[in-house]
Chain A
């Protein structure tokens, strides 16, 4: 018996795509503002590129704006708010 092949012709009128993103920082909150790291610090308007997060060499992570306000207070000897080790940005 001959196999019948039918070609269904469809026209896609529109589609919806969904994607999600994360900084890869888990569900942690920022130790300075206490907002989620994947969320947005009080000084920022939008999560994401507007409010990036940074890691210190000690392994602790914060919103960039939050750690910057803290570092500016202690510009000579900045320390990590979590472990009090000298604060140094981790080079990625």
Chain B
């Protein structure tokens, strides 16, 4: 069994046995694509709002990060584009193989929790317009990480 398969099976097992609050595993029929719901934490701007995330693991996982996007509606947040792409350093250059699906989910919940104002990134419309032409993966985007406050 490959490193990717073995890692994903062990992650799935521990995440199913002990799923943290605000997280719900929706579908993992295919080990390489997972759908997971997260709910905004209490007393935050996203309280009781539920969003669906899609995780895709290519053959280089866990040496490379998974591709993580919001499906359907994405939360209105300064680091989340309206096409579901997320600007988060650990999904890009700051990824390390010690991070897991669970730690990514907790980072996203925490990123949403610290948000003070629901708004889209300033370049949302131009980014999404460019994306609509060929629907590239967020892993192809050259992200600039400039704000670690939200």
Contact = CB atoms under 8 A, between A and B. Distances in A.
Nearest to A69: B63
Contacts, number: 38
A22 interface: no
Interface size class of A (residues with CB under 8 A): 10 to 19
Contacts of B107: none
B98 A33 contact: no
Contact of A81 (B5, B10, B96): B96
A33 B3 contact: yes
B130 interface: no
Contacts of A31: 97-98
A69 to B, nearest CB: 6
Nearest to B94: A84
A70 B63 CA distance: 6
B3 A42 contact: yes
A79 B95 CA distance: 11
Contacts of B98: 31-32, 81-82
Interface of B: 1-3, 5-7, 10-11, 62-63, 96-98, 100
Interface of A: 31-35, 41-43, 66, 69-70, 73, 79, 81-82, 84
Given A42-B2, A81-B97, 20 more contacts: A31-B98, A32-B62, A32-B97, A32-B98, A33-B3, A33-B7, A34-B7, A34-B11, A34-B100, A35-B10, A41-B3, A42-B1, A42-B3, A42-B6, A42-B7, A43-B3, A73-B63, A79-B96, A81-B96, A82-B96
